[in-house]
Chain A
Amino acid sequence: MMMSKNDTFLSVRDLVVEYTAEGQVIHAVNGVSFDLERGKTFGLVGETGAGKTSTARAILRILPDPPAKIRGGEIILDGEDLLKISEKEMRKIRGRKVSMIFQDPMTALNPIMKVGEQISEVIKMHNDIPWREANERAVKMLERVGIPGDRSEEYPHQFSGGMKQRVVIAMALACSPELLLADEPTTALDVTIQAQVLEMINKLKKDFNTSMIMISHNLGVVAEVCDDLAVIYAGEIVELGSKEAVFDHPAHPYTLGLFGAVPSLAEEKDRLNPISGLPPDPSHLPEGCHFNPRCPYAQEQCLKEKIPLREIGPGHFCRCIRVTEKEGKYVILG
């Protein structure tokens, strides 16, 4: 469908995830497709509830079932469809080939286990080595993320938020995974610590040659670490392309709205321009283009027909019929 190259490491095709709650079906992810090359970082940007986390959890197959169900699609990692293999085979992949950094470092660590023990647990799970050696490797891993090794005997409550996130990152990287899913790794941290953590993730990613999927609602974070990115709205990719393409030439009205809502230091501005309205109720998605109730350019066709993702520039895709190119810029016919 798009960007199909030979060095594609992860390829997600038409992924559909639904939740069932009180008889209602919640359409969390509706046909998301993207590719990720080895060593590259892919960003998933979107509002709360857009389906970013569900996509990542589907890749690791740790969606809570029930209520969540993967209804369709393929997740091809290194030529293997993760949705088709058995749970036993999947367990070999979890933590070793693919691992995840969780959003909230305050709750992602077991409060009654020493941090060193939690890291060595991963190592022990995947390597047939004695506990002592696993512990030694855990201490080394802690040192790599900038925590003195002698603190491995301490409990999570003895660490600050930023350091806990480092521990979580150490856990995720302990077995040198080939794919790292970072689910808003900096959201729970304050801005200075955010910068440190991002820098560290970037460095470790380079050292280990890890591919990464970075989930964020923060455009600044995505700009800092990603090569390519997709903007997700109501479980669909509305815009996809390289970081340069999307940041320099945003095309979709929703993407434009996101950028319009970012405060800028360079411009004099009294008010930000928020996107009016709220994200749609995922159990009753609007017909046609899911963005139509909030789109200032919506037309009759947008209310009725499903809008396909189409290529508007090389490797730059957009789910909007109104976008055309004019003198090197994208214009929305209004």
Chain B
Amino acid sequence: MIDEELVQLLTPEGERVAHPDYASTLSGEQILSMYRDMVIVRRLCNESTSLQRQGQLALWAPIQGQEGAQIGAGRALAPMDFTFPTYREHGIAWCRGVPPENLLRLFRAVSNGGWDPQKYRHHLPTIVLGNQVLNAVGYAMGIQRDGADEAVLTFFGDGASSQGDVLESFVWASSFNAPVVFFCQNNQFGISTPSSIQSKVPLFRRARGFGFPGVRVDGNDMLACYEVTKAALENARAGGGPSMIEAYTYRMGAHTTSDDPTRYRVDAEVEVWKHRDPIERIKSLLVREYQTKPAAFDAINEEAEAFALKLRDDVLAMGRPDPLSMFDHAYAEPHPLVEEGRREMSELLAQVAR
């Protein structure tokens, strides 16, 4: 992964490197706090995979390997910024304060949403590839009209970069100078489709053709992801328009729990990326530069274990929704067919109850 255009502030070995455009501004305390975020989010992911294997979730989309990109980007947000995720932005949801059990409501199939998106300023997961990117640009156009000091951060992957909606988003954001940052996590694969099939040029270079800057950042370098995202959001808030970030990373796990990555990729490649783990390199930095003691890491691990236990309990406590709830909020205003359905089901349920 030697690439002169790749923004990196920390090597896989945890050694700092200088970059002409970006300097790390995080304190040791902040880095440790974000290390904790990554550990907890990875634990959330492992627990969720287990829950799916035990039949407690319908599906899970793992995040392993992408914690650095997401915690880096997520902690770069200002409170009033708004985020538009895919279904894999568990780290962003964590940074936005979405209760973790709410994040799992969708995957337990007890809800098609899961949280109040206005409260957390984090949109609901979008499963149709690329739809949310246009929605994000529209939201950014609203910010412009309100004259607000806010920006939008929206996510998609290398797979969705081929979607018309994403490319239309680039056109619109550029034409209207919308305060939006496009954060593409290039984790190298659609489900099985390699990113080389999505694009013959590095993805970040597409931005230039649409009239705004693009930058490729080491997606496993949390420090670099933080600084690059922070600068892009500040630029957007200041009226500088859109930009694109390609976080170059690797999906260590499967696409989802329904996938079998051994069919389309070789172990040797996975091994190479294991050495670039985003959590380990921050740990090395903390030990080397801040003399963080083993006890501090142990405490975080213990916290993550307790977190996972509580998450499991919370998930198992999520029962089957009331079937009649399907009729709530189908429309904002009264609708005769919805009311007819509600009546019919109420009668059927009453018959069963008798």
Whether chains A and B associate is: no
| A interface list, Cβ under 8 A from B | none
Taking Cβ atoms with an 8 Å cutoff, the residues of B that contact A are none
